[in-house]
Structure 1
Amino acid sequence: MTSEDAQAIRKLVEDWALWRDAGDWERFATVWHPSAGWMTATWFQGPAAEFVEASRTGFENGVRILHFLGGHTADVRGDRAIAQTKMTISQRAEVDGVEVDVVCTGRFYDFLARDGGRWLIVRRQPIYEKDRLDVVDPDATLHLDPQLLGHFPEGYRHLGYVQTKAGFTVEGGLPGLTGEAVERLYAEGAAWLAGSDTAGDPR
């Protein structure tokens, strides 16, 4: 991997977070591969173009799902790459009349391709490692439904809880720190670097 590739891939990942969180939708659309872009999140699984529009609609309706990036690494094989970037997802919302902040720590696991000389995202699959929920007002009291909380994997159970209460349909069984789902993702990443026809098995 050249230093130019490393810089371009890191910039791509940072552009995704900054442009999405700022609501810069025209530029946000440019980080995705035009014919194959796919996004998986707790609340969305589908083509990148639909994700851009769903994000725009949510933003305009007051949904605030924000991202902060940390350490980063990438493996490059020719015109393909797998990038992993430490991240946190934070969302402020109201649950049963109580304002809360939920924060989820994990990694963005990105399948990338060089197209027309530019690195672009073919598939983004977050890995959800752990999360927590805090009430914004320390004097407020919130009682969680243990059945709903237990419906989601440990890595994003509070995020899934808040998003479900906010009206989203949250996907179950997404990759966590360990387990079958993340091992399958790693195998799909290795196959992508080896030249597989698809970037894993998007739903």
Structure 2
Amino acid sequence: MANTYNITAKETFPKSYCHLNATPEQVIDRFAVSELCRAWPVYRDASEWQNYRDAWADKESYLWTTWAGGVDIDSFIEISKKGRANGNMIMHRENGTLVDLNPETGRAVGKMKATITQRFMFPNNACDVECDCRFIFYCVKSSAGWKIKYCKLLYEKDKKILDKFPEGYKWLGAAQKIIGHDMLYDLPTINNEGFFELYEAMELWLDGKDDEVAGILHVPGH
């Protein structure tokens, strides 16, 4: 019997960019981008806010998570600080990161597989909720080095099935809503149209087509 919940079997990234081996300079560029990706689990989870901010471009850097849609990085940091002060406990485990690089445009996409774990405190009980996902980082090289411009998550699966939220973050989304977050219900998962749109945006980003990427990602002001 075919799986009712699974990733597509067809090729998702048909255009090939610099992704394995290549020249020493290109390998160094890819490593630099992979470092940016790891700033999320290492720096954010430890409240190293200045180090975390250093991974992002100075202006108009945006991200999309279950509870932060189209938020600029500085606002996201302030929201995160308030959440942590209120007792929010969110951790991230990196499960592997690879990078696609276009040396001609100075663009790269970091693909980081991760597990999000959030602890929720209920009367006489604590509940850890886990969600497997992929962080997609849209990165650009400038005089300041490599920086993150956009980040959008692709949600793969979590461990409970509840209604209203899409497959991929049903339980995580529901639990986050219980503690008061304003939630997004239309983020990319592995079996909705957002999955293919996210991959389309990756290719357009690597080719330097900023306006088209901004339209797909719903960057504020575009």
Give the TM-score category using the shorter length: 0.7 to 0.9
* Structure 2: tracts of 5 or more residues without a match: 1-17, 19-25
- Within the candidate set 14, 18, 24, 2:38 is matched to 14
TM-score, normalised with respect to structure 2: 0.80
TM-score, normalised with respect to structure 1: 0.87
- 1:96/1:131 Cα in 2 relative to 1: closer, same or farther (>3 Å)? farther
The aligned counterpart of 2:5 is: none
TM-superposed deviation, 1:197:
2.0
In angstroms, what is the RMSD of aligned CA positions? 1.7
- Within the candidate set 176, 190, 210, 1:177 is matched to 190
Instruction: Return the alpha-carbon distance in structure 1 between the equivalents of residues 204 and 78 of structure 2.
Output: 30
SS across alignment from 1:125: strand
Task: Please say if 1:31 is aligned against 2:55.
Answer: yes
Residue identity matched to 2:76: F
TM-superposed deviation, 1:117:
4.2
- Within the candidate set 50, 63, 72, 2:88 is matched to 63
Residue identity matched to 1:47: D
The aligned counterpart of 2:8 is: none
SS across alignment from 2:95: strand
Task: Please say if 1:126 is aligned against 2:153.
Answer: yes
**1:136-157 deviation digits (Å, cap 9, x = unpaired):** xxxxxxxxxx8xx310001000
Task: Please say if 1:81 is aligned against 2:94.
Answer: no
Instruction: Return the alpha-carbon distance in structure 2 between the equivalents of residues 150 and 169 of structure 1.
Output: 17
Instruction: Return the alpha-carbon distance in structure 2 between the equivalents of residues 124 and 22 of structure 1.
Output: 19
Instruction: Return the alpha-carbon distance in structure 1 between the equivalents of residues 178 and 123 of structure 2.
Output: 8
TM-superposed deviation, 1:47:
0.6
Residue identity matched to 1:60: A
Instruction: Return the alpha-carbon distance in structure 2 between the equivalents of residues 178 and 32 of structure 1.
Output: 29
Q: Retained in 2: the 8 A contact 1:95–1:166?
A: no
TM-superposed deviation, 1:97:
6.2
Instruction: Return the alpha-carbon distance in structure 1 between the equivalents of residues 88 and 107 of structure 2.
Output: 34
**1:35-74 deviation digits (Å, cap 9, x = unpaired):** 1211111011211110111111111221111101012211
Instruction: Return the alpha-carbon distance in structure 1 between the equivalents of residues 54 and 169 of structure 2.
Output: 28
Residue identity matched to 1:13: C
TM-superposed deviation, 1:98:
3.9
TM-superposed deviation, 1:106:
1.2
Task: Please say if 1:43 is aligned against 2:67.
Answer: yes
Task: Please say if 1:116 is aligned against 2:143.
Answer: yes
Instruction: Return the alpha-carbon distance in structure 1 between the equivalents of residues 61 and 146 of structure 2.
Output: 12
Instruction: Return the alpha-carbon distance in structure 2 between the equivalents of residues 53 and 101 of structure 1.
Output: 24
TM-superposed deviation, 1:178:
2.5
Instruction: Return the alpha-carbon distance in structure 2 between the equivalents of residues 153 and 69 of structure 1.
Output: 23
SS across alignment from 1:155: coil
Runs of 4+ with >6 A deviation: none
> Number of residues paired by the alignment?
189
The aligned counterpart of 1:140 is: none
Q: Retained in 2: the 8 A contact 1:105–1:128?
A: yes
Task: Please say if 1:166 is aligned against 2:179.
Answer: yes
